Amino acid sequence: MILKRPTEIAIMAEAADINREALELVAASIRPGVSTLELNKIAEDAILSKGAKPAFKGLYNYPKTLITSINEVVVHGIPSSRILLSGDIVSVDIGTFYKGYAADMAKTYSVGDISQEAARLIDVTEKSFYVGLEQAQVGNRLGDVSAAIQKHVEDAGYWVVREFVGHGIGRKFHEGPEVANFGKAGTGPVLREGLVLAIEPMVAQSQTAVEILADGWTAVTTNSSLASHYEHTVAITKEGPKILTKKGQPVFSLASVGGFSGKA
């Protein structure tokens, strides 16, 4: 667990702004007929234009700037010439390095008209992040965050993906501790001021394992159920959790998200 000074968190907030703005540009271009490779170029151009660096490109030899995971893909979908179709859902994960510090976020988007079930899955995943975030207080334990996410997802009838978890973040993109989206309240490390976490629920429609495809990256549900992903970079502060990758929200509060509306 690497704690950050306020000056470091301020730089991470700059990285987070660049990251969020790039994702906003990508989101504005998500529509039927667009390829994920086109989305990747939009993101890369936006990050580079700010003097920052795409965090994913080259990380563990990953080849692209974005992660674009369509329908049954949980995470690590590689941008390609594949065209988005109406009815698809696509999870876009984006990371940025700026002045030596990283930011990370993800959101699942609808493409054209999607089913009510797909829309509900996206909503539950997003809300589970905020339910977990409420527990991200100095003095609580990491298991409090994990257990809250799991309960919200399972109460809605969905499945928390076990194979992938969130993480600490800072000078390295992946730092300790791991942030599971399932677990037992009252367990795990104590949350301390200065800890910065990438909290990222990944949720499937039904209980499933995950399989990695032949490209070595793309992770899909083995039962072909849809999957959704939502993530922010969060600093633990004495005043409460601060979502660095969310515009205009210095410190988290229930009122600021309209009772867990989770609107970015």
Question: Tens of pLDDT along 124-163?
Answer: 999 999 999 999 999 999 999 999 999 999 999 999 999 9
pLDDT at 219 over 70: yes
Say what the pLDDT of residue 259 is.
Answer: 35
CA distances for 32 relative to 21, 170, 249, angstroms: 22, 36, 32
Distance, CA of 197 to CA of 98 (rounded, Å): 17
Q: What is the mean pLDDT of the chain?
A: 94
User: 6-254: what fold?
Assistant: Creatine Amidinohydrolase (3.90.230)
Q: Where are the chain's structural domains?
A: 6-254
The radius of gyration computed from the CA coordinates of the chain, to the nearest angstrom, equals 17
CA distance 93 to 105: 6
Give the pLDDT confidence score for residue 247 in this predicted structure.
82
Q: Model-level pTM?
A: 0.92
Whether the CA torsion 157, 152, 175, 253 is positive or negative: it is positive
Q: Please answer whether residues 177 and 132 qualify as being in contact, where contact means their C-beta atoms are separated by less than 8 angstroms.
A: no
Residue 253: its pLDDT value, please?
43
User: Residue 149 phi/psi, 5° resolution?
Assistant: -60, -50
Q: For residue range 15-24, what is the model confidence (pLDDT) as tens digits? A: 999 999 999 9
Contacts of residues 117-124 at CB distance under 8 Å and 24 or more positions apart, as own/partner, are 117/205, 117/226, 118/87, 118/89, 118/226, 120/156, 121/89, 121/158, 121/203, 121/205, 121/226, 121/228, 122/89, 122/228, 123/262, 124/152, 124/153, 124/156, 124/158, 124/203, 124/228
- C-alpha 88/C-alpha 262 separation (Å) is 21
Q: How far apart are CA 180 and CA 37, in angstroms?
A: 30
User: What is the SS3 assignment for 66?
Assistant: strand
Q: How confident is the model at residue 225 (pLDDT cuts 50, 70, 90)?
A: very high
Helices 116-133 and 142-155: angle between axes, nearest 10 degrees: 160
